[in-house]
Copies of this chain bind each other. A is one copy, B any other.
Amino acid sequence: MVTFQERREKSIVETRKAIAGSIGDDFLITQAINTVTEIDRNANILSKRLREWFELYLPELSHEIPEHEQFITKILTDSPIQLKKAYDNSMGAELEEEDVNAILGLAEDINNLYARKEKLIDYIKIKMEAICPHVLEVAGPLIGAKLLAHKGTLRELALLPSSTIQLLGAEKALFRHLKTHARSPKYGYILQHNSVATAENKGKAARQLANKIALAARMDYFDNSE
């Protein structure tokens, strides 16, 4: 006879299996894109720290290259000691090689973080090709993954009306609009898409792109789940 205890244990095992089985590729994409966002934020914070430190040595160079990644590539490829020779009367101090190397160490780590971000974007592309090739095609890996991560699963994204997709990522502005009658937002994450960012009529371009993404998500979800 099956005792209560045995039933209980079997039920726990089944539940664990069901939980383990509920993790789809969309969960992995969500984790990866959240990591990309977090790496981006941290690399930027550390880049500012790097610049403040580097500017003791050669402030002129740091001011000339405002873009963090470019600046880091520059000081890692051309040694700062060589670079400094080009500047007469720099306001930076003369540092020992070990001091410059300590600064370059931080630059290397930040560079690794930026490289990791690129690798993760490639990984996201591969994952999206498997479960939502159309969304990938229409929205690109970054925006597509952000939309997916916002709802957590492809199913939920596929069930959204395109007007909601248009505003995902603009919740703050949307609720301000509902509460205070401020102007309603016209776009969320999808503003970063090239077709919207460069459009003359951004609201219209956002509406069109959101339409396409909604269609793409439904094709991806319902084709695979049939």
Contacts and interface: CB of A to CB of B under 8 A. Distances in A.
Contact of A52 (B31, B93, B106, B119): B31
A141 to B, nearest CB: 14
Interface string A85-107: 00001111111001100100110
Number of copies: 2
Contact of A38 (B35, B39, B45): B45
Interface residues of A, number: 45
15 contacts: A16-B89, A16-B90, A16-B91, A20-B92, A23-B56, A31-B52, A31-B53, A35-B106, A38-B49, A39-B109, A102-B123, A105-B120, A106-B116, A106-B120, A109-B109
Interface of A: 12-13, 16-17, 19-23, 27-28, 31-32, 34-35, 38-39, 42, 45-46, 49-50, 52-53, 56, 89-95, 98-99, 102, 105-106, 109, 112-113, 116, 119-120, 123, 126
